[in-house]
Amino acid sequence: MGLKKAYENAKANLLSDENICRENRDIFREFLVWEERKLKRTNNLAELDNATYKTVSYYIRRFRNVNKWFCNKPWINLTKEDIQKVYDDLEDGVIKNRFGKRYSDRKSYYIKIFKSKPFKLAGKAELAKEIFEFYRPKENLEVNFIEFDDFVKLTAPTKTTLQKLLLWLAWDIGENVGSLLQLRKSDFRRQINPQTNEPEYLIDLRKEILKRSRRARVEITNYTETAELLDIVLPDMRENDSVFNFGHRQSLKFIAHCANVTKIKCTPTGKNPTFKDLRSSMCCHLLKIGWRIEEVNSRLGHSPASLAMVTRYANYLALDRHTPKAKVSDNNIQTMKDNLDHYRQREKLQAFRVEEQQKRIELLEKDRQNTNELVTELIKKIADLQVSLKYKVQEGLKTPMEIVPVHSADRPYRSNP
């Protein structure tokens, strides 16, 4: 059943439900007419498309819930105490969802029902404004992802090739599962990567299958596993055939089965991974391997001005701090390099000085040795001379001395008188 048919059936059941008071059904009818017209005009549509049918379908479920919380009391008769009690019970967890837990999407009820057009039609907008005085919507800061190695393990228990392909597309392309399930064979175009010479696919993500906030775009597959699975699945299909022969509910069941079998848990929450988590996991993985925030944001289909989600993951991973840290690291490395160069120059100069000093020491040592040899030789000569002189003196004493008269030219000889 298409989204249009499902919405029309749900709308007819809501407006004809005798268990809902007539006053509230009149409000629901007036609002749905107004909302359908608003969606067509604001999105430049001649008639509602799948994305807008999905939007108005959400209101039917919300209307039934809010009508139950007020015990089917006509909204036009609600008092401040009635609205205050429902608000407090939602915040305090008194009102629980079908799983017996506190409503996690309370913000959507506050913004789209209590503080919006439905309560304006009931004439309770001012009361709601007064009651929600202290309410401030908080940004969703929850981080939830798995690592690539865990994702590969998650694909192992799949029972069919189509199930495995859906998981790889959810990781590779990063689009939500509802859009992926609407892909046709004509949305895929095979080509050969000019750098790697490996097959890859261009995937046309058409506007009509995407959420209203996503951009229509063409993405290229990053992983050979995705291309290999597409090579198996696509050849036997006609151009307009849907790639997947199961719906959203079946996809949720088999990914839950894979998570239970493999025991894979998300970081840091410890929850079982869902298709939404595969989208955020792909985002984290691309950031880790070096993609810029703007590049990842574009692949996710967000507008250039919308960086909140990607920035949230980058902040959690501290990737946005890597650049300044790298600058500090580079500066430290450069400083260490300069210090090392200076040290090397100093060591080189010191080695040169030591070498020169060693040479001088060797020269001095050589001079000392030469001097010692000269001194030794001189001492030997002196000793030899002393021995020679001593010998000559001894020889002279043994021979009689001959007296020889001495005549002086300055003293003439004179005879005695």
Same domain assignment for residues 186 and 293: yes
Domain presence at residue 383: no
Instruction: Tally the domains of the chain.
Output: 3
Q: How far apart are the first and last CA of the chain?
A: 184
Same domain assignment for residues 239 and 300: yes
- As a whole-number percent, the residues of the chain with pLDDT over 90 amount to 44
* pLDDT above 90: residue 274: yes
The residue assigned the tokens 């090739």 is: 161
3-state SS of 242-264? Answer: ECCCCCHHHHHHHHHHHHHHHCC
Same domain assignment for residues 84 and 214: no
Domain presence at residue 381: no
Same domain assignment for residues 215 and 68: no
* pLDDT above 60: residue 1: no
Domain presence at residue 141: no
Q: Tens digits of per-residue pLDDT, 241-269?
A: 999 999 999 999 999 999 999 999 998 88
Same domain assignment for residues 284 and 152: yes
Domain presence at residue 379: no
Same domain assignment for residues 123 and 214: no
Backbone angles phi, psi at 98, to 5 degrees: -70, -15
Domain presence at residue 356: yes
Q: Is 72 helix (H, G, I), strand (E, B) or coil?
A: coil
Same domain assignment for residues 268 and 333: no
Q: Which domain holds residue 339?
A: 318-373
Please say which residue of 373, 391, 409 terminates a domain: 373
Residue scoring higher pLDDT (361 or 328): 361
Instruction: Give the C-alpha separation, 93 to 71, whole Å.
Output: 17
The pLDDT of residue 200 is: 93
Token pair of 152, please?
């590969």
Q: Tens digits of per-residue pLDDT, 397-417?
A: 665 544 445 454 555 545 444
Least Cα distance to 258 among 158, 189, 361 occurs for 158
Burial class (CB in 10 A: 0-12, 13-18, 19+), 287: buried
The pLDDT of residue 88 is: 92
Q: Tens digits of per-residue pLDDT, 124-181?
A: 988 888 888 776 655 555 678 899 999 999 999 999 999 999 999 999 998 999 999 9
The residue assigned the tokens 């059936």 is: 9
Instruction: Give the C-alpha separation, 414 to 411, whole Å.
Output: 9
The residue assigned the tokens 């919405």 is: 7
Query: In sequence order, what are the residues at sequence separation of 6 or more whose Cβ sits closer than 8 angstroms to the Cβ of residue 345?
Result: none
Query: In sequence order, what are the residues at sequence separation of 6 or more whose Cβ sits closer than 8 angstroms to the Cβ of residue 179?
Result: 205, 209, 210, 211, 214
Same domain assignment for residues 230 and 347: no
Same domain assignment for residues 294 and 156: yes
Least Cα distance to 246 among 155, 159, 154, 162 occurs for 162
Cβ neighbours, 10 Å, residue 311: 14
The pLDDT of residue 400 is: 54
Domain presence at residue 395: no
Q: What is the secondary structure of 162-222 as a DSSP string?
A: HHHHHHHHHHHH---HHHHTT-BGGGEEEEE-TTT--EEEEEEE-GGGS-TTSPPEEEE--
Same domain assignment for residues 178 and 304: yes
CATH of the domain at 183: 1.10.443.10
The residue assigned the tokens 């039917």 is: 60
Domain presence at residue 22: yes
Confidence of residue 382 (pLDDT cuts 50, 70, 90): confident
Domain presence at residue 410: no
Least Cα distance to 211 among 239, 177, 236 occurs for 177
Alpha-carbon dihedral 359, 362, 364, 365, rounded to 10 degrees? 170
Same domain assignment for residues 329 and 361: yes
